[in-house]
Structure 1
Amino acid sequence: MPLVNFFIAGAPKCGTTSMYNYMKDHPDIFMCPVKEPHFFARGLIHIRGMVISESEYISLFKSAPPSKSIVGEATAMYLYFPEALRRIKDYNPEARIMILLRNPVDMLLSRFYTLRYNFFEDAADFQTAWNLQETREMGEAIPPGCLDPDTLRYRKHGMLGDQIEILESIFPREQIIYILFDDMKKDMPGVYKRSLEFLDLPYDGRTDFPLSNERKNWKNESLGRVFSYFEQSYPLVVARIKNILPASFFALIKGMIVKKQSNTPIPEEFRRELVEVFSGQVEKLERITGRDLSDWKK
């Protein structure tokens, strides 16, 4: 197999799915057909459908044409696990790492809704889930559908500054690009061009940047559990189906069982509490990225 030389390694709920889709469409990039294979996090996290064996991982890239100068994959949880980052460095010391970043408070709220959608979380609201963290650390109040209680450690997952410091202790700065979720919303064409420059690739003229992974919920919970289990357990099958069937057909099927939902604001007092919890992390991100993130401290 060709050596994977590009990793979208984090962070979850920061636009990684959209970026994966944009990169996948570039003529000089081959992206792993399965988003989130989790191969370099094997043994560190327990989820359905993750790629465990090296032979299975290799098979994901067997169709990569020699003409593609960039061969990549996207697993947003790699940033969270220092050992996963070290494994990537051992695998390919020259690998380029893309990290997408977002206000930790907004990231965790979005993560909460995604965990509920996937039946990993059963708390009625994010504040309840946040307050359950200590109880869950003791192995209590774990939702039946949650295979790995570590996914419910919201505070730890929000420590983006610490995670970035570890990343930069493993990979040289010139092999890393940081993308802000705020920039993606304001100027995705500019972000896209900068990403291609980082990969030493020409701009392909792309002007359309549809968003992925907007907040959604199941119209029917029982049917949703079945569909969610299949999506998580057989990601390669799902990827092949998406490649065979027209996107409109897949969207029609999904539209019959999924509904879009707008974000529910969290109580202002609780938000201020979270801003205070992560203020030190935001300051680290400011120092590392050289960006003014004062809006993330409000």
Structure 2
Amino acid sequence: MKQLKVDFFVLGVARGGTTSLYNYMQQHPEIFLPKVKECNFFSEVDSLDKEVYLDPDPGKEYHMKIIKDAAIYKNLFEDATPDQIKGEVSPSYLWDRNTAKRIHDHNPNTKLLISLRNPIERAFSHYQMHYQTGHEKEDSFEAAIKAPKNAIWGGGNMYLEMSLYYEQLTPYFELFDRKNIMVLVSEEWTARNGEALNEIYDFLGLEPFFDYETDVPFNAARELKNKGLLAFLRLDKVKRPIKWLLPESAKDKLKDRLFYKEGEKQCIDPETYRSLEDYFREDVYKTSELTGIDLHRIWEFEKSNEVSQ
């Protein structure tokens, strides 16, 4: 039996554009991505959602699974053709500190793509997503970041901690050749999708690709309505029968109609933003030095006296 070798990984960060990358990149004819967007095979993470532990049905699309069986993971790539490179997208790979070694043991020459986002905006977007999906009960971002911590990956509230990038990135820069690591800045590459995507393909050793739409937002935050009904339908005793009654596509359309609406873009309180600039400033500068990218300039983090010393 031929051994699986994954040629590239998109590591994260969560809420940093990985879903968009997945949807765009899977349209390239020379790329194969599994129908499970986030496999989480190389990381040791948990989730509040019990369904992510169930084995994926062949040919069915899923946003997230936690796959531990090597045979099941390998089967996700069985439809890849010989002229395609195989990739995988799991933001938990950046968060779990032991994943870098596991991936290196799997393929030390694999290519790594990392999409970073302004840490404050990322944390706020993460909070909004969890509030919308019912995982977060606090009605304000300020209350959520002060609440007792639940460190679980799927549904937890480590909003600020997941935006501290330096220690998450360091194991990869220590183990892998830098020429095999491409760090993207979400705010920049999403503003020029087509050009940036072809830079990614060049990094992966592929030809440019133009035959797709790049202006469709994926996994965008939306305003929630009927939150009480959504929480009721998320109960296991209610959710499981519905799972068998409706196909995945029908459930997604129903959820869009019942629970989500396009709302005005919510903003972080200015005072909260300023305090979080202080919280993240040192990490942003250290991450800038590690990656060689002026993230402090891009995200407008001014250097404090403490950082400059």
SS at match of 1:45: coil
1:200 Cα deviation after fit = 0.3
Residue of structure 1 aligned with 2:83, choices 61, 67, 75 = 67
Is contact 2:7–2:86 with CA below 8 Å preserved after alignment?
A: yes
Map residues 138-177 of structure 1 onto 2, 5 A cutoff: 151-177=156-182
Residue 285 of structure 2 is matched in structure 1 by 283
CA–CA distance in structure 1, aligned partners of residues 225 and 100 of structure 2: 38
CA–CA distance in structure 1, aligned partners of residues 30 and 158 of structure 2: 38
Q: What per-residue deviation string (whole Å, max 9, x for no partner) do you get for residues 168-200 of structure 1?
A: 012221111111111123211221011000100
SS at match of 1:151: coil
CA–CA distance in structure 2, aligned partners of residues 35 and 95 of structure 1: 18
**Residue identity opposite 1:183 in structure 2:** E
CA–CA distance in structure 2, aligned partners of residues 46 and 265 of structure 1: 28
Is the alpha carbon distance of 1:292 and 1:2 closer, same or farther for their aligned partners in structure 2, counting shifts above 3 Å?
A: same
Residue 90 of structure 1 is matched in structure 2 by 105
CA–CA distance in structure 1, aligned partners of residues 225 and 47 of structure 2: 27
- Aligned CA-pair RMSD: 2.8
SS at match of 1:21: helix
For normalisation by structure 1, the TM-score amounts to 0.82
1:11 Cα deviation after fit = 0.5
Of 123-132 and 23-32, the range deviating more from structure 2 = 123-132
Is the alpha carbon distance of 1:260 and 1:289 closer, same or farther for their aligned partners in structure 2, counting shifts above 3 Å?
A: same
SS at match of 1:8: strand
SS at match of 1:40: coil
- 1:214 matched to 2:220? The reply is yes
Whose helix proportion is higher, 1 or 2? 1
Residue 56 of structure 2 is matched in structure 1 by none
CA–CA distance in structure 1, aligned partners of residues 256 and 160 of structure 2: 33
CA–CA distance in structure 2, aligned partners of residues 89 and 229 of structure 1: 39
**Residue identity opposite 1:275 in structure 2:** E
CA–CA distance in structure 2, aligned partners of residues 229 and 15 of structure 1: 29
CA–CA distance in structure 2, aligned partners of residues 91 and 273 of structure 1: 41
Is the alpha carbon distance of 1:46 and 1:22 closer, same or farther for their aligned partners in structure 2, counting shifts above 3 Å?
A: same
Map residues 143-292 of structure 1 onto 2, 5 A cutoff: 151-206=156-211, 208-209=213-214, 210-225=216-231, 252-257=253-258, 258-292=260-294
Q: What per-residue deviation string (whole Å, max 9, x for no partner) do you get for residues 214-240 of structure 1?
A: 11244333553477679xx99xx99xx
- 1:56 matched to 2:72? The reply is yes
Residue 36 of structure 1 is matched in structure 2 by 38
For normalisation by structure 2, the TM-score amounts to 0.80
Residue 46 of structure 1 is matched in structure 2 by 47
Residue 12 of structure 1 is matched in structure 2 by 14
Is contact 2:19–2:218 with CA below 8 Å preserved after alignment?
A: yes
Is contact 1:215–1:261 with CA below 8 Å preserved after alignment?
A: no
Residue 99 of structure 1 is matched in structure 2 by 114
1:264 Cα deviation after fit = 1.7
- 1:122 matched to 2:137? The reply is yes
Residue 26 of structure 1 is matched in structure 2 by 28
Is contact 2:25–2:31 with CA below 8 Å preserved after alignment?
A: yes
**Residue identity opposite 2:220 in structure 1:** E
Is the alpha carbon distance of 1:147 and 1:287 closer, same or farther for their aligned partners in structure 2, counting shifts above 3 Å?
A: closer
CA–CA distance in structure 2, aligned partners of residues 167 and 261 of structure 1: 38
Is contact 1:36–1:76 with CA below 8 Å preserved after alignment?
A: yes
Is the alpha carbon distance of 1:71 and 1:81 closer, same or farther for their aligned partners in structure 2, counting shifts above 3 Å?
A: same
Provide the aligned length of Structure 1 versus Structure 2: 275
CA–CA distance in structure 2, aligned partners of residues 191 and 226 of structure 1: 42
